[in-house]
Structure 1
């Protein structure tokens, strides 16, 4: 085994450092939720999401060995592009769902009954009642 291949897979010390960071970054949000702290729900969610983002970086660096000098920087560039695309997809999905929720007319039980009575022969089962 050459020194280059051993360095690319990391040493036991770096793997244990990554493992310790991953455990700490998992225990903190778990403890915050289980202790039912008095902080606001918004801050709790922000802290959990922030620690989750840090944990993703820890996994990329310590376990997947993502470094800017690997393969001439193309691995890092591909990862940044993937993160940007995922961010665009998530932001676009949230935007569409928010706008649909804000612009949809609320449908109550009374409206559904009026709609089915207004259309002759229409019912909740698709309008096939009484046609044998």
Structure 2
């Protein structure tokens, strides 16, 4: 079998795909069960757990299905992925920060101006 220049790792094994699939199903089913059963009465705790499981699921997909690690292509694919993640985090975080401060620092409207224009 011929390999292109720079190919240092295979596409993955059946075992890796099975493990990734089982983990992805569990990391989807558990948050669904948490919400539908109402096991946790606190909505904030439920949201934090769902967010944490979503982050773990991202890692599972990146490792099991995208095969990003330090060995593939000399680590450049992982570096590109991390750079993209940082840019996305800065863009979303900056947007939320700007919207929060715009909402906080806007001048309040007097009551008579809040109604429909006449």
TM-score range, shorter chain: 0.7 to 0.9
Counterpart mapping for 1:2-17 below 5 A: 8-17=10-19
Q: Distance in 2 between matches of 1:91 and 1:59?
A: 23
How many Å separate the matches in 2 of 1:113 and 1:55?
47
Partner of 1:39: 41
1:77 corresponds to which of 70, 76, 79 = 79
Following the alignment from structure 2 to structure 1, what is the Cα–Cα distance between the partners of residues 14 and 40? 40
Show the 5 A alignment for 1:53-132. Answer: 53-107=55-109, 110-113=112-115, 116=117
User: 1:41-60 CA deviation, whole Å, 9 max, x = no partner?
Assistant: 22111110110011001001
For 1:113 and 1:16, how far apart are their aligned partners in 2?
59
Q: How many residues were matched structurally?
A: 114
Aligned CA RMSD, in angstroms, stands at 2.4
Q: 1:13 deviation in Å?
A: 1.2
Greater RCO, 1 or 2 (C-alpha within 8 Å, sep 6+):
2
Q: TM-score, normalised by structure 1?
A: 0.76
Name the structure 1 match of 2:32: 30
Tell me by how many angstroms 1:61 deviates. Answer: 0.6
Q: 1:42 to 1:108 in 2, by over 3 A?
A: farther
**Structure 2 residues without counterparts, runs of 5 or longer:** none
**TM-score normalized by the length of structure 2:** 0.84
Provide the C-alpha distance between the structure 2 equivalents of 1:95 and 1:16, rounded to a whole number of angstroms: 40
Kindly tell me: are residues 113 and 60 of structure 1, through their superposed partners in 2, closer, same or farther at Cα, counting changes over 3 Å? closer
